[in-house]
Amino acid sequence: MAKATDVWSDLVLVFWFACLLPLGPARVAAGLYNLSLTADGPATVGTEVTISASLEVKDNGSLPLPADTHLYRFHWIHTPLTLTAKSEKNLTSTIHVVGGVPGDFPVSVWVTAVDCWVCQPLARSTLLLPIKGPTTLLITDNPVVYYNYSSPGTFIVKVRVVAEWEQIKPDTTKGIIQKTGDFSASLDLRESLQGIQILGPTLLQTFQKLTMNLNFFGSPPLHVCWGLKPQCLPLEDRECHAVLVTRTSFNLTHVFQDPGDYCFIFRAENAISKAHQYHRIQVWPSSFQPFVFAFPCATLITVLLVFLMYMTVRSAATQKDVVESPGATGLKCCCQVCCGSLFLDSPSEYLEIVRENHGLLPPLYKPVKTYNV
């Protein structure tokens, strides 16, 4: 019984070493190789694309590659692209795929030992494959061709011109001569400006910040001109605030200081067309006055209150009898008459000066004469 147990233990140990044996070269070689990916793109929908992965040594050949190329396996992930063919030769694996829809699709590949699926990869790499919409093939003998694009963007136009003519050969026989020329050009197609959408309030108060959002239905860049008038009328060049917009949206802020009816006028254009739009707005007086207007009023009221308090205190003070010389009195009277009551000691003193200069005023009622008989 003990002998059977020892045999079973030896079998387990041998099986364990057999499993670990493939891991040795893979772990040692991990990080020493590069996996180079190439594609014959860019591709279009429905056309076949060839992608190749080659296993290379990092240190320029100091580490020898194995002579038996069947020791390694290439693992590909290419969904949602459809695989049409696959081949391997001299540590290079090549696949052929077809895309059904346009877009950018990642393609990944890694290399492991052929008999070890769970070993650490020797190398891995990823490629982003762009697939564009179909290109239209036209065959015609007319030198002028028309084609309408359904969406804006940058497109490559390729033209192949085939010329044929009949020529007499030296042996007096006729032959057909053919020459072919390939030409290409890049087209940057923009969408016409179809309209302007304005998002913003139509009623607000003075000194309130107005924010409007403009959306342009067309391809940028756009030359935008805006102005403000009491009525919705076209803008003249001198009334235009020019702005260059490089996107399809634009934000505008404004603060109204006076109430009234206003109209924002917008004009935009790109390389193809123009568009106009209007936005009416009513501005009502705000319920509070700005501080810049309230401060002078408060200052004036404060000065008046201080002056009234000063005059009240001066009037309530005890007046002193001052003996003045005739010359000094005349000078003071002249100054007080010319300058007013601002420099007088009290209102009663002002009345006294007036009586001295103008004499006694006649009584309002004449006395009744009496006679003794």
Q: What is the pLDDT of residue 12?
A: 41
Give the pLDDT confidence score for residue 297 in this predicted structure.
Answer: 60
Q: What stretches of 242-325 show up as alpha helix (H) in DSSP?
A: 291-316
CA torsion, ordered 64, 69, 71, 77, to nearest 10 deg: 110
How would residue 160 be classed by pLDDT, with cut points 50, 70 and 90? confident
The per-residue pLDDT for 227 is 92
Q: What is the C-alpha separation between 107 and 38, in angstroms, rounded? A: 11
Q: Is the pTM of this model over 0.75?
A: no
Residue 28 tokens read as 């040692």
Q: Which pLDDT tens digit goes with each residue over 185-230?
A: 888 888 888 899 999 999 999 999 999 999 999 888 899 999 999 9
The pLDDT value recorded for residue 278 is 93
Q: Which pLDDT belongs to residue 271?
A: 85
What is the per-residue pLDDT for 46? 78
Q: Name the pLDDT band for 77 (thresholds 50, 70, 90).
A: very high
Ramachandran quadrant class, 242 (left: phi over 0; alpha: psi -120 to 50; beta: rest): beta
pLDDT value of position 96: 92
Mean pLDDT of the chain: 74
Confidence of residue 41 (pLDDT cuts 50, 70, 90): low
Per the model's pLDDT, the better-predicted residue between 59 and 116 turns out to be: 116
Query: Percent of the chain, pLDDT > 90?
Result: 23
Mean pLDDT within 176-185? 88
Evaluate the CA torsion angle 17, 19, 25, 31 in order and state its sign: negative
pLDDT at 108: 93
Domains in the chain and their CATH numbers? 2-132 (2.60.40.10), 196-284 (2.60.40.2950), 309-316+324-364 (no CATH)
80 neighbors 97 (Cβ within 8 angstroms): no
For residue 44, the model assigns a pLDDT of 79
Q: 214 phi and psi, to 5 degrees? A: -110, 130
Between CA 243 and CA 253 the distance in angstroms is: 13
- Of the spans 16-25, 239-248, 363-372, which averages the highest pLDDT? 239-248
pLDDT tens digits for 272-315? Answer: 899 999 999 999 998 755 444 455 666 778 888 888 888 888 87
* Helix (H/G/I), strand (E/B), else coil: 317: coil
The tens digit of pLDDT for each residue in 224-278 reads: 999 999 989 888 888 889 999 988 899 999 999 999 999 999 999 998 899 999 9
83-94: average pLDDT: 89
Q: What is the pLDDT of residue 31?
A: 61
Of the listed ranges 109-123, 131-145, 202-216, 344-358, the least confidently predicted one is: 344-358
Q: Is there a contact between 324 and 301 (Cβ–Cβ < 8 Å)?
A: no
